[in-house]
């Protein structure tokens, strides 16, 4: 097996990697400046939503419902939740609807039988792509999970749409392909993740070369107060008790392992062009400071707010504008009520995910997508009680180590998707071949 307690995290996969010389252009090279002539909207801004029935999609629609004078929905796509999709169609009246599961089209048509202005319905992956590149949409919200979100995002970029990015794989797996494409089509990638939104808000108007360091804050997840030696006894229910956020199972486990933060380090590199040596993780249990940036003169800028995903989603839609929000539905931050904010350094022994993520990031190319896909498969196997909690890290490390020989530095979209599928299969086979734990402890 591999020793996870290394001093040099650049060497986790057995040989040293430096940042690829062919690093793709960052979405926001250390600053966010509004270019002259960017269109602003008097009436409602037309948007489309890929993944409308998921957590990001439903929260986006809540924002639209609260601000009908600012936004309107022209197209939505969902996977298989036809009941909720039909309700959304009735409420928001999009022109185009896609349901990824083709067998549910008739059920959707039936649910919309009494609707006067029926939308166009396109089934399958092609439907999702058409929603992403709908001619009227200006911004596309990508709330679909996994590599399934890559093709619609690429289609939206090629059609000149700005991307409200809530799909991690777009940059973690697709960064080497997606970022040059975004530059070519002159579109903006606006991060809907709370940490990357915080960084984006902090770099507004910074002069060129001003960014020195990115500080990503992490809650520490379910096990931040557990001693390391207890982690071998972790049960699935333990990992799903997040102290601050109410989220899906996968992301809650990722918070417990800190893989979510490792993946965000990679995203921060792709979004803002910061070198991996200049991106740090800090445990901040209250989740009030969502992230910070340090400028060249050692000033540190932070973005604060209650843990609420709606604010970063709203800013992806409203940027560069700020929209007034009622304090009835958007409680305002009260620092006196909070009393104190605390910070501590993360423990590399408790969170081996950090070394793995930094190593994958430095390797670049297809390695980051392999890391993400192997982690997704390992978390799924952990939730299904097929592997133990500590095996998550072992599965990911062995999958990344195996991929070294086939690493592609500047992959095509097909290669990115190929290695995503390969990593899931390899990770699953590690479990099958051992019939117990993937690696001896």
Please give the share of the chain, as a percent, with pLDDT higher than 90. 85
Q: Please give the order of strands across the beta sheet that includes 289-295.
A: 279-283, 211-218, 289-295, 300-304
Q: Output the pLDDT for position 17.
A: 43
pLDDT per position as a tens digit, 361-398: 999 999 999 999 999 999 999 999 999 999 999 999 99
Residue with tokens 């690429």: 154
Q: What is the mean pLDDT of the chain?
A: 91
pLDDT at 296 over 90: yes
Token pair in block for residue 311: 């604010």
Contact (CB, 8 A) for 136 and 74: yes
pLDDT at 7 over 90: no
C-alpha triplet 293, 295, 301: angle, nearest 5°:
40
Each residue of 43-81: pLDDT tens digit?
A: 899 999 999 999 999 999 999 999 999 999 999 999 999
**Number of Cβ within a 10 Å radius of residue 300:** 12
User: Which one-letter DSSP state was computed for residue 176?
Assistant: H
Q: Please name the residue that has the structure tokens 């500047």.
A: 410
pLDDT, one tens digit per residue, over 190-210 is 999 999 999 999 999 999 999
Q: Which two tokens stand for residue 305?
A: 């707010």
For the whole prediction, is pTM greater than 0.85?
yes
Residue among 401, 411, 311, 316 at smallest CA distance from 356: 401
């Amino acid at each position: 097996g591999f020793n996870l307690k290394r001093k040099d995290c650049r060497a986790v996969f057995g040989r040293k990697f430096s940042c690829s010389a062919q690093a793709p252009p960052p979405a926001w090279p250390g600053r966010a400046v509004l270019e002259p002539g960017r269109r602003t909207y008097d009436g409602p801004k037309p948007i489309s939503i890929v993944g409308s029935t998921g957590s990001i999609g439903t929260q986006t629609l809540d924002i639209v419902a609260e601000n009908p004078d600012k936004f309107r929905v022209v197209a939505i796509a969902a996977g298989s939740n036809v009941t909720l999709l039909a309700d959304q169609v009735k409420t928001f009246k999009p022109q185009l609807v896609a349901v990824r599961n083709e067998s549910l089209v008739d059920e959707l048509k039936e649910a919309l039988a009494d609707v006067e202005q029926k939308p166009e319905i396109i089934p399958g992956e092609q439907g999702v792509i058409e929603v992403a590149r709908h001619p009227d949409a200006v911004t596309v919200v990508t709330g679909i999970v996994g590599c399934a979100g890559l093709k619609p995002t690429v289609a939206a970029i090629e059609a000149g749409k700005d991307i409200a990015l809530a799909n991690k794989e777009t940059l973690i797996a697709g960064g080497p392909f997606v970022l040059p494409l975004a530059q070519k089509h002159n579109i903006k990638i606006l991060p809907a993740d709370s940490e990357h939104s915080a960084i984006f808000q902090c770099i507004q108007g910074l002069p060129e070369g001003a960014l020195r360091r990115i500080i990503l804050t992490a809650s520490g997840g379910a096990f931040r107060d557990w001693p390391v030696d207890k982690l071998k006894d972790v049960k699935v229910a333990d990992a799903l008790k997040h102290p601050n956020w109410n989220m899906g199972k996968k992301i809650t486990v990722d918070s417990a392992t800190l893989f979510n933060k490792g993946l965000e380090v990679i995203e921060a590199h792709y979004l803002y062009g910061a070198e991996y040596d200049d991106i740090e993780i800090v445990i901040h249990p209250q989740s009030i400071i969502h992230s910070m940036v340090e400028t060249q003169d050692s000033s540190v800028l932070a973005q604060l707010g209650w843990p609420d995903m709606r604010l970063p989603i709203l800013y992806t839609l409203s940027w560069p504008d700020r929209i007034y929000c009622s304090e009835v539905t958007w409680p305002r931050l009260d620092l006196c009520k909070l009393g104190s904010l605390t910070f501590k350094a993360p423990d590399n022994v408790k969170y081996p995910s950090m070394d793995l993520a930094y190593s994958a990031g430095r390797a670049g190319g297809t390695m980051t997508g392999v890391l993400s896909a192997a982690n997704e498969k390992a978390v799924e196997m952990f939730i299904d009680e097929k592997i133990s909690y500590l095996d998550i890290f072992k599965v990911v490390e062995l999958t990344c180590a195996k991929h070294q020989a086939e690493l592609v530095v500047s992959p095509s979209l097909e290669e990115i998707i190929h290695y995503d599928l390969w990593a899931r299969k390899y990770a699953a086979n590690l479990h099958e071949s051992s019939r117990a734990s993937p690696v001896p402890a």
